């Protein structure tokens, strides 16, 4: 299947990319192309110009700055998944990324592309919210930061304006214990539901919990009822079962052709249970 006709531009700098995006309301940034190109092939997107940001130096690099892991938006998902720096400072990212599609997809797909695409079942979006990350974006009026918790506003829609480029992700490095699990029909498919969990545990008790569900609504979403069950309690099997049940009970997934709400709720309960078991075994 072929995409509709489009123009192609490869700017050499971020400023030039922003200018090109601002000049045409139907222009779109092209990063790894793993979501945008299939959407064009299926005629779900018809950009007039593809502004290729895949090689911009401003979007590259993985580094730790004090207590923040800074990941350039153009870093490939597979690079982040396998980087020792990520494993050591924010292991939840690696745990989540290994569930994204297949190896080949992750070798092309970028960190920024996944966040900007804002699929409600995207593993990285859930992990970013669980880790309290923020993204830095650059547009014609300069740079600004957006907390990941405010980034996803609707299915495939973010708080970025059309001419803004997501340039980096900033993830606080914390000693949180983490887990990630998802339930799907086949490995590599988008999950029916999944959970990213980051918990602070002191003296065997949970002092803070951030649980984020994916695949259960229009955006990835915190699971506050399950978090409340966990806070202040010892993380044992009974508590894990109660929290997983609370997550499922409080969720109202949509009825869509892939799965009815009952199935997705059951998938969420299983995913929450597995993610929390990982945390307790960590
Ligand atoms: P692109 O496809 O190039 O762009 C996607 C969108 O984001 C476009 O609208 C583009 O304009 C915008 N964009 C990209 N980068 C930026 C930026 N820096 N600033 C502003 N806007 C930007 N994803 C999952 O999360 N989980 C899965 O299980 C999964 N399975 C997949 C299976 C298959 C078979 C395929 C083809 C894809 C799958 N994906 C999955 C999608 C994959 O993760 C994509 O890599 C990702 O969603 C988009 O990243 P990209 O770099 O390819 O972005």
Nearest protein Cα to ligand 1, atom 11: 29
- Long-range (24+ apart) CB contacts under 8 A made by 140-145 are 140/18, 140/19, 140/22, 143/167, 145/170
**Confidence bin at 274 (pLDDT 50/70/90):** very high
Q: For residue 59, what pLDDT is reported?
A: 98
Q: What is the mean pLDDT of the chain?
A: 96
Q: Is 61 in the pocket of ligand 1 (CB under 6 A)?
A: no
Q: What percent of the chain has pLDDT over 70?
A: 100
Q: Is 158 in the pocket of ligand 1 (CB under 6 A)?
A: no
If one residue of 31, 96, 161 were mutated to test the ligand 1 pocket, choosing by the most ligand atoms within 8 A of its CB, it would be 31
Q: Is 125 in the pocket of ligand 1 (CB under 6 A)?
A: no
Q: Is 113 in the pocket of ligand 1 (CB under 6 A)?
A: yes
The total number of residues written for the chain in this structure:
282
Q: For residue 256, what pLDDT is reported?
A: 86
Compute the half-sphere exposure of residue 39: CA atoms within 13 Å on the CB side of its CA.
14
Tokens representing 232 are 């202040």
If one residue of 116, 146, 166, 183 were mutated to test the ligand 1 pocket, choosing by the most ligand atoms within 8 A of its CB, it would be 116
The per-residue pLDDT for range 211-259, each reduced to its tens digit, is: 999 999 999 999 999 999 999 999 999 999 999 999 999 999 988 888 9
Mean pLDDT, range 89-109, rounded to an integer = 96
Q: Is 190 in the pocket of ligand 1 (CB under 6 A)?
A: yes
**Confidence bin at 81 (pLDDT 50/70/90):** very high
The per-residue pLDDT for range 8-61, each reduced to its tens digit, is: 999 999 999 999 999 999 999 999 999 999 999 999 999 999 999 999 999 999
Q: For residue 21, what pLDDT is reported?
A: 98
Q: Is 156 in the pocket of ligand 1 (CB under 6 A)?
A: no
**Confidence bin at 198 (pLDDT 50/70/90):** very high
If one residue of 35, 100, 112, 156 were mutated to test the ligand 1 pocket, choosing by the most ligand atoms within 8 A of its CB, it would be 35
Q: How far is the CA of 14 from the centre of ligand 1 (A)?
A: 19
Q: Are 208 and 191 in contact (CB under 8 A)?
A: no
Q: How far is the CA of 224 from the centre of ligand 1 (A)?
A: 28
**Confidence bin at 165 (pLDDT 50/70/90):** very high
Q: What is the 3-state secondary structure (H, E, C) of 98-160?
A: CCCCCHHHHHHCEHHHHHHHCCCCCHHHHHHHHCCCEEEEEECCEEEEEEHHHHEEECCEECC
If one residue of 60, 105, 164 were mutated to test the ligand 1 pocket, choosing by the most ligand atoms within 8 A of its CB, it would be 105
Mean pLDDT, range 93-115, rounded to an integer = 97
Tokens representing 190 are 């988008």
Q: Is 219 in the pocket of ligand 1 (CB under 6 A)?
A: no
**Confidence bin at 189 (pLDDT 50/70/90):** confident
Q: For residue 6, what pLDDT is reported?
A: 96
Mean pLDDT, range 68-80, rounded to an integer = 98
Q: What is the pTM of this model?
A: 0.97
Lowest mean pLDDT, pick from 139-153, 247-261, 263-277? 247-261
């Amino acid at each position: 299947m072929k995409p509709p006709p489009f123009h192609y531009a490869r700017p050499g700098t971020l400023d030039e990319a922003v200018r090109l995006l601002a000049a045409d309301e139907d222009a779109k940034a092209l990063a790894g192309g793993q979501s945008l190109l299939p959407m064009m092939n299926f005629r779900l997107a018809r950009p007039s110009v593809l502004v290729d940001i895949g090689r911009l130096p401003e979007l590259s690099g993985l580094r730790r700055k004090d207590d923040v892991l800074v990941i350039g938006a153009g870093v490939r998902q597979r690079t982040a998944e396998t980087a020792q720096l990520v494993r050591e400072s924010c292991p939840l990212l690696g745990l989540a990324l290994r569930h994204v599609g297949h190896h080949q997809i992750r070798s092309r797909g970028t960190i920024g592309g996944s966040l900007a695409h804002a699929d409600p079942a995207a593993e990285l979006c859930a992990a970013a919210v669980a880790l309290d990350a923020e993204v830095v974006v650059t547009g014609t009026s300069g740079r600004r930061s957006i907390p990941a918790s405010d980034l996803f506003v609707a299915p495939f829609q973010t708080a970025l304006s059309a001419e803004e480029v997501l340039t980096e992700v900033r993830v606080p490095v914390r000693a949180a214990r983490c887990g990630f699990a998802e339930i799907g029909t086949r490995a590599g498919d988008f999950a029916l539901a999944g959970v990213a969990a980051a918990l602070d545990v002191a003296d065997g008790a949970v002092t803070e919990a951030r649980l984020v569900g994916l695949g259960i609504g229009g955006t990835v979403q915190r699971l506050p009822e399950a978090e409340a069950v966990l806070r202040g309690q010892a993380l044992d099997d009974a508590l894990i079962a109660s929290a997983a049940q609370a997550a499922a009970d409080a969720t109202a997934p949509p009825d869509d052709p892939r799965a009815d709400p009952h199935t997705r709720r059951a998938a969420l309960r299983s995913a929450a249970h597995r993610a929390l078991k990982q945390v307790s075994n960590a």
